[in-house]
């Protein structure tokens, strides 16, 4: 069998020759571009005229808020701090005023009362007015006023007329009409207020003074209004 004739394969130029060719082409391209720039020098192309102008560069480095934003925030904080200082200063211009009910008040004329415990001023003034034919201490007829505050823990007792006693609903302390404690945990009698006759003839009660039986206060003339 005869050998087939072989197709000759063209030989590729050696690598150094290709690099030489590229280096030669580069200056040619640069020269062409320089030629184009020279042609356009002094002219404004349509594309350049239409290109939007760039905004002046902001020197802010924050990605979240601009310089104006930071200035506004600082100014707002400064104003708020000043307002707080002013408010605190103004607060001292006005003293604390507690509108407490008056400690002295009149409760009517002696003839308005019968013998026994009167509850008319318990809710509004926190006292019972008691008229007696013979006082526990003074052994004379007259009036005294009892604070409606339990001497155990300060609850308000109830007057139970049927049982003729004050009874505390909290822990069961009991007090006689005189105010003497006789049952439950209350450690001492109810307290009395100052009582007197006002210029107009009414009974005057003064809660600014207290009289405690265990301290001998009930013997004080101001704790009892003799009639």
- Among 34, 153, 160, 219, which residue interacts with ligand FES (rule: CB under 6 A)? 153
Residue 151 Cβ vs ligand FES, minimum distance, rounded to whole Å = 8
| Cβ atoms of 218 and 224 closer than 8 Å | yes
Residue 147 Cβ vs ligand FES, minimum distance, rounded to whole Å = 13
Tokens, residue 138: 């003074």
The distance from CA 90 to its chain's CA centroid, rounded to whole angstroms, is 18
The helix or strand, by DSSP H or E, that contains position 40, with its residue range, turns out to be helix 15-40
Contact window for ligand FES (CB under 6 A) among 30-38, 158-166, 183-191, 196-204: 183-191
How far apart CA 170 and CA 180 sit, in angstroms, is: 18
Phi, psi at residue 160, to the nearest 5°? -105, 95
How far apart CA 118 and CA 131 sit, in angstroms, is: 8
Does the protein bind ligand FES through residue 203 (CB under 6 A)?
Answer: no
Residue 177 Cβ vs ligand FES, minimum distance, rounded to whole Å = 17
Count interface residues toward ligand FES (CB under 6 A).
Answer: 13
- Among 126, 142, 185, 217, which residue interacts with ligand FES (rule: CB under 6 A)? 185
Nearest to 194 by CA among 164, 156, 220: 220
* Nearest to ligand FES of 126, 142 (CB atom): 126
Stretch 161-180 residues interacting with ligand FES (CB under 6 A) = 168, 170-173
Q: Which residues bind ligand FES (CB under 6 A)?
A: 150, 152-155, 168, 170-173, 184-186
């Amino acid at each position: 069998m005869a050998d087939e004739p072989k197709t000759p394969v063209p030989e590729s130029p050696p690598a150094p020759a290709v690099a030489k060719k590229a280096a030669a082409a580069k200056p040619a391209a640069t020269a062409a571009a320089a030629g184009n720039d020279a042609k356009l020098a002094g002219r404004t192309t349509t594309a350049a005229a239409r290109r939007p102008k760039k905004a002046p560069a902001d020197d802010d480095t924050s990605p979240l808020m601009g310089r104006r934003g930071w200035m506004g925030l600082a100014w707002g904080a400064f104003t708020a701090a000043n307002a707080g200082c002013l408010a605190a200063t103004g607060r001292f211009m006005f003293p604390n005023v507690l509108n407490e009910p008056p400690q002295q008040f009149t409760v009517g004329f002696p003839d308005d009362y019968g013998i026994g415990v009167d509850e008319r001023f318990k809710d509004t003034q926190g006292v019972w007015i008691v008229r007696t034919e013979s006082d526990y201490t003074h052994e004379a007829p007259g009036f005294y006023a009892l604070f409606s505050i339990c001497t155990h823990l300060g609850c308000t007792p109830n007057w139970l007329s049927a049982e003729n006693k004050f009874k505390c609903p909290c822990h069961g302390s009991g007090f006689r009409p005189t105010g003497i404690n006789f049952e439950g945990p209350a450690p001492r009698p109810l307290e009395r207020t100052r009582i007197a006759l006002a210029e107009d003839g009414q009974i005057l009660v003064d809660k600014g003074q207290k009289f405690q039986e265990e301290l001998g206060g009930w013997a004080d003339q101001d704790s009892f209004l003799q009639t």
